Chains A and B, each alone.
Chain A
Amino acid sequence: MTQKRNRTAFFYILPCLIVLGLFVYYPLIMNLVYSFQSFGMSDTTREFVGLANFKKLFSDEIILTSLKNNVLYAVISVIIQVGFGLVLAAVLEDRVFQKFSPFFRTTYFIPTLLSMTVVCLLFEFIYNPQMGLLNSFLELIGLDGLTNVWLGKSSIAMYAVIAVSQWQSTGYVTMLFIVAIQKIPRDLYEAAEMDGAGKIRQFFCITVPQVKQMFFVTMVITVVGAFTVFNEPYILTGGGPGTSTMTLALHMYQTGVVKNDMGYASTIALLIFVITAVLSSIQFLTIGGKEEEA
């Protein structure tokens, strides 16, 4: 009887298994195989090249540049989206702001609803050195010295690209934290207040520990997002000037689709997968795991 029930259960999860297998696990395994091969998009045969692609991976300077940019992306994203996002959520959920909070919540959330391409094109205009909003604004308030060729200087282009993502995604993370904060029982705050804890003490002693689960979720989202970022540098700079704003995903795309070297592109894809898998596992084991015990 139980066996039969199991079989029926198996039948129900079959579609899911097939779809997952076909679109996730099969490509993943094929990607591993491809990373040992050399071929272009219009080639009909694939040549086995052993570890050549991996050797190239470790001597490729663009990989280093990309890694550096991705790490920078991750660090800034965690600080601004997760850190600042949480503060923003706490402020908006405070009783003092209750009246205005829906307005601000919506305002911060709107960028998330825009398509990334639209946002990038918008920022292309903001950063435009000839008539862009940012330079015009700086000139208007007398800060002529701060005007810059934002996307054209390798020293600042990456920061300009990263800023776009922060503008777009902080509202989303804030929204997630707001949901988490709303779940915290009000009496915890009331008790703390009675004990004489100030707003800041309440934030660190109640809000932060209570939203730990959400912390984990947002960390995974932002860090994995930072290591797979593609649209922003692709549209805003194309990886330039030179290769200064190259990210792993963009490098993978250029290698595979532009340089027509799908084998090596698969190797880069594998690297991205390993990095994101390891980072999510670490986060899961350190933050996510403990939560279950508690």
Chain B
Amino acid sequence: MKLKKYNVLAAAVLAAFALTACGGGSETASNEGAGSGAGGDQIEIDFFHRWPNDPKNAMFKELIARYEEENPNVKINMDCILNDQYKEKIRMIVSTDEVPDIFSSWSGTFAQEMIDSGNVMDLTSVFEEDPEWSDTIAEVSKGPFTFDGKLMAIPWSQDGKAFFYNKRIFEENNLEVPTTWEEFIDVLDKLKAAGYETPIAEGLKDQWAILHYLGTMNQRMVDPEVLAADYDPATGEFTDPAYVDVLEKWQQLTSYMGEVAVAIDHETARNTLFATEEAPIMYLQFAEISLMTDTVNFDYGYFNFPAFEEGKGDPNALTGAPEGFMISNKAEHPEECIKFLKWLVSPEGGAVQLTVEGGDLTCVNGALTEENALPAQIEALETIDAASQMAPWFDNACDASIYTVFGQGASAVATGDMTPEDAMADVQAAAADLRTKQ
């Protein structure tokens, strides 16, 4: 009697398996069908990226169609979801057999996490074997993808963050571009006196927008050695008093952002304050240049985050990072993946289109000319070139449990609910917690 019960159970379980097996079977069958239709040995590449929105999604579709036409034996299966969800999904699948052949990656800790899964292919030899191609890739964008001397991704775009300012308003008020924090505050005061209620615009509802400031300010203020030790999960303490200074300066800066800053997001701030010339200064990414062509009708220039007098970090560094593509070492046709990516990151492939259509700065040197790119984008590339080094985004420089708490603390400091000291105490606790896990 007991046995029979188990039999029934076993039958039910088997039935369940049979059902799923059927689902899987039909899928492969249809794939094979597509393959044989094109004739010959059809190679499939799974390509996963984080740009489901146009114009980039349309751009990728068009690029892939072009590549498939030139290489009829290759079929590229593109899949994409937006940033945060992308992060979640790729984290979940990178260590499994489901890992896509090619996937996009940020630099820094995110890349490190991907590499730690053991499923990312070392691409150093790809760069060494084809110097003609690899020399065209900007050196600044290779560094952040180099881990233990190995290049782990093919860079695709580069980005940096600088203060964009309204040239007309600066001229009208006889203002010079500030190079130090004191000069900067002086400029903000003068703008306020001239009737600009929010001399600097920001949407503090977006935590990443806060983090972009904090990353730069930490880099400028804190001793680079201390910073490196603190960003390392195994040794991070965040006890240096310089961090409290950073948050005090942050508090000072947010007092110029107006009351509404805490309740709007970055894009709203850009469109309703900076673009309408109500706010003359905003901390923006170069990738946003192309988003402003329709809304901004005035001349704007850039200046790097001003130096802190007491700061110990390199004041000429520029916050920003490249993005690139990784190849899984489980890919069935690695040489085809490499071939596709090399094509994508070349002027013949997607390099120019990335900037012209997608709005991001390509990392291929010399691909952009005055004919195909906006003058502002060329100027942005020069700003990146002029920087002594690239400092990573805060959310790519340290563990999420640190920057999340840091950002929440900074948000509470901005609304006056927390003192900089209390906020840092929370960060220190999070760092201590993280240390015990290493």
Contact = CB atoms under 8 A, between A and B. Distances in A.
Interface string B1-31: 1001100110011001000000000000000
Contact of A42 (B1, B91, B411, B433): B91
Interface stretch (B54-62, B241-249, B401-409): B401-409
Q: Interface centre among A52, A130, A241, by most B CB within 10 Å?
A: A241
B412 A242 contact: yes
Interface string A143-183: 00000011111100000000000000000000000000000
Interface residues of B, number: 44
A254 B264 CA distance: 21
A14 B8 contact: yes
B260 A10 contact: no
B9 A14 contact: yes
A242 B411 contact: yes
A242 B91 contact: no
A85 interface: no
B12 A14 contact: yes
Contact of B404 (A40, A41, A152, A258): A258
B409 A151 contact: no
Contacts of B94: 42
Interface string B94-112: 1100000000000000000
B205 interface: yes
Contact of A241 (B264, B404, B412): B412
B235 interface: no
Nearest to B401: A259
Interface size class of A (residues with CB under 8 A): 35 or more
A127 B8 CA distance: 58
A128 interface: yes
Contacts of A42: 91-92, 94-95, 113-114, 116-117
A152 B5 contact: no
Nearest to A259: B401
Contacts of A243: 408, 412
A128 B91 CA distance: 34
A128 B404 CA distance: 25
Interface in A221-266: 237-244, 254, 257-261
B263 A257 contact: no
Interface of B: 1, 4-5, 8-9, 12-13, 16, 88, 91-92, 94-95, 113-114, 116-117, 204-205, 207, 259-264, 268, 272, 399-401, 404, 408-409, 411-412, 414-415, 417-418, 426, 433, 436-437
17 contacts: A15-B12, A18-B16, A43-B95, A56-B433, A128-B263, A149-B260, A152-B260, A152-B262, A152-B263, A154-B415, A239-B408, A240-B262, A240-B408, A242-B415, A242-B417, A258-B400, A260-B401
